[in-house]
Amino acid sequence: MLRSVVYLVAGAWTSVLARSHMRATESSRFGGLPAPAEPRANSIVSGATTAMDIYKGVWYDHATRKLVLTLSPGAAGFLTAAVVTWVNICAAATWPIFRYILYSVRRRVDTTKDVFYHQRQALLRNSTSATNAATLLIKLIYGWKSYRGRAVVRSIAYLSACVVVFALWLLCGLYAPYIYTKTGSDVLLASSPHCGLPVPPFDSLVDDGLVSQMFQIEEVASVTSSRGYVQQCYEQSNSSSAQCTTYPRRALPIKISDTVCPFGTNHDICTTINSTTVQLDTGFLDSNTDFGVNAMANDRLKYRKVASCSPFHAASFVSAFNTSGTPLAESWPPNTVLDRFYLGPLLGNDFTFQYAPYQALFPLPYYLSTQGYFPGALPLEGSWQLNKTFYGAEDADITIAYLESNSVTYPAPVYDPIFAAGIDADERVSLALNSTYNFTVYEPHYSISLIGCTEQYQICLGEDGACTPLVPMNLLLPAMSNLKGLRLAHTITAGRFSLSNIKSSISTVASIGGANALLASRTLDDLEQMARLPKDQWRREVTNWFAVGLAQIQAKMLAYATGPNDPAFYPYLNVSSAGYLHGCGNQRIHSASGQVNFDLAALIILIAVGAAFIVFGLAFESVMDWITKRRPQWRRKHAAWVVDGLFQIQKRALEAEGIKDWQFEESEVPISKEQVGLVADEGKYGHVHVSESLLNEPKR
């Protein structure tokens, strides 16, 4: 039955794609869907393993609404260093603005000032950075030993301003890494040449050959992996395992509530003692934020899965069958009576399941099996035809789980309707541990117990678009094809969901592994149940099955983008379908391999603002020079600025030593063609003057 579902869903998706006439004009990296093209990067194939290849470059993250640049660790380290260097360049380029302001504060050119004042102005005028100015101010204060207290008072404001400027740029440098540390860890998968989920060919649906076996083995491995994921990442919310950080959302939500019994003609066959029918509902999950399908708001889907489960009374569907005088007599001891469950014909028989009472006589642990009914599935010969008195509608997938407790014993009575034990007196067995101590074990109340579940699916278009009704898995795509506003992007994502649903049904996840699918098996030691099972243990079991199904959907949505792990599945990828190719380049995951994201918009702003600061800083003095020359009231202040410049101070020193014939005397860089040789006068420590021999040396 499950294989017929695979084929039907694949065919339905192709049919729905054919009805969609919208052309995708945007690149999938930016939320749209491109026409089939060469993949951006190949997956790394090693043996039977396909590694996830991360897209390196620019893409738009529709979850955070940011333009993202993803780089390898080496390239990211280089860019980070470049960003910090850029901030330092901006700091150096803008210092002329701050030093001009500090120099001009309380500057009066019409009064007489002392030497300390002029030294302070000169060092501010010729400082190269905030740290340089602060260092020179400290040296100046230290140099005026007899005047140090007053020097501190007269310089503290300038020193504080330098420290503030330095601190501001230091903070900018420290904040620069936030361009990537606050961007998020989601990365985009590169399009794989083996994108898609493999679909078995039609002929494998009717035989049990190697192809069918290969798909069954993959199914077992997939469900087993999802079961481990749920145990580690759903049940343990504080787990730090790297496995729990791969999917866009660690664990999908499950709302648990009570509901009415869905089974029986009058909806009245569900067990009510210590039991109420449970409803498990994901609510509407966003294809973008919850499953990582990177798409614009109008191209997204809202996905919902709802299950209702309950133990039920099967007495009206059970009949005793005596094998004596039948063809089965040779296979069973004389007068063997089998319990046959008539929930619909299966495999050419008029019954669905039969139970042999001899099984309880053997030392066996739990045994779990399931049967699934999927309305709309391809009708294969011998497939299960559901008894309409059990469930009459065709609006849900049906799963019946059969639990045989066999020889399991319990340390205390169990009042759960499925795992019930020790209810009657003959189910309480006293055992002697030694000559002085006895203990009691409790045997199962039921030889076999049944749980029924319905599963329905729903899809809505975009943020506030039309919705399908709750329908079975196979009817989801046909129901969606009639929705108003349907776009190609919706159809493609819905196809991915439908293919993922195949391996997520309760029928699938509860049957694979048999008793290993039970939470109660975790605390089973041989045939002895070590835990005291609560009366709602069955609820915990079906909730776990539902969670494993959700983990299966998470895994298959990701596997669609990466392609199958085993190259043996490559021939069964429907690569000729445009739908497969459209969804290959828009899958987001959490990065666990060292890739680094940068907020490209913030990076561009940083570069643009920094460039503006640099240009303004470099041009500031020239602009002020141009302005002051045209404002008479500012000319004397500008003249003082020029005079305190490094080359003007040097000019005055050289003039004192006799150097003449200066040109451009009023500019910041005066020049002279005189020959100058500076030597130290040994008689005066620190005094430097022009050598007389050089002054008298003829010009060349």
Euclidean distance between CA atoms 264 and 271, whole angstroms? 12
Q: Once rounded to an integer, what is the mean pLDDT over residues 301-326?
A: 94
| 3-class secondary-structure state, position 476 | helix
Per-residue pLDDT at 404 exceeds 70: yes
Torsion of CA 492, 493, 494, 499, to 10 degrees: 90
Q: C-alpha distances in angstroms, 87 versus 90, 176, 427? A: 5, 8, 79
Nearby residues of 84 by Cβ (< 8 Å), 6 or more positions away: 173, 176, 177
CA angle 209, 213, 216 (to 5 degrees): 145
Q: Once rounded to an integer, what is the mean pLDDT over residues 604-622?
A: 90
Per-residue pLDDT at 17 exceeds 60: no
414, β-bridge pairs? 421
Residue bearing tokens 């200066």? 662
pLDDT (tens digit per residue) in 419-430 = 999 999 888 988
Per-residue pLDDT at 365 exceeds 90: yes
Contact 405, 446 (CB under 8 A): yes
Q: Based on the number of CB atoms within 10 Å of its own CB, is 329 exposed (0-12), middle (13-18) or buried (19 or more)?
A: middle
Six-digit token string for 391: 């469930």
DSSP letter string, 101-114:
HHHHTT--SSS---
Q: Is 344 left (phi over 0), alpha (psi -120 to 50) or beta?
A: left
More confident residue, 141 or 8: 141
Amino acid at position 447, single letter: S
Nearby residues of 157 by Cβ (< 8 Å), 6 or more positions away: none
pLDDT (tens digit per residue) in 236-295 = 877 777 778 889 899 999 999 999 999 998 888 999 998 999 999 999 999 999 999 999
107 — pLDDT class (breaks 50, 70, 90)? low
| 3-class secondary-structure state, position 445 | coil
pLDDT (tens digit per residue) in 453-462 = 999 999 999 8
More confident residue, 318 or 9: 318
Q: What is the percentage of the chain residues whose pLDDT exceeds 90?
A: 39
Per-residue pLDDT at 301 exceeds 90: yes
φ, ψ for residue 503, nearest 5 deg = -95, 10
Per-residue pLDDT at 143 exceeds 60: yes
Residue bearing tokens 């009472």? 357
φ, ψ for residue 354, nearest 5 deg = -135, 145
Euclidean distance between CA atoms 228 and 396, whole angstroms? 28
In the β-sheet with 318-322, what is the strand arrangement from edge to edge? 318-322, 337-341, 353-355
Per-residue pLDDT at 7 exceeds 50: no
More confident residue, 486 or 238: 486
Per-residue pLDDT at 593 exceeds 90: no
Per-residue pLDDT at 627 exceeds 60: yes
DSSP letter string, 624-657:
HHHHHTT-HHHHHHHHHHHHTSHHHHHHHHHHHT
pLDDT (tens digit per residue) in 210-253 = 888 888 889 999 999 999 999 999 988 777 777 788 898 999 99
pTM of the model: 0.79
Q: What is the mean pLDDT of the chain?
A: 83
Six-digit token string for 530: 């070590």
> Each residue of 89-99: b (16+ CB within 10 Å) or e?
ebbebbbbbbb
Euclidean distance between CA atoms 503 and 557, whole angstroms? 11
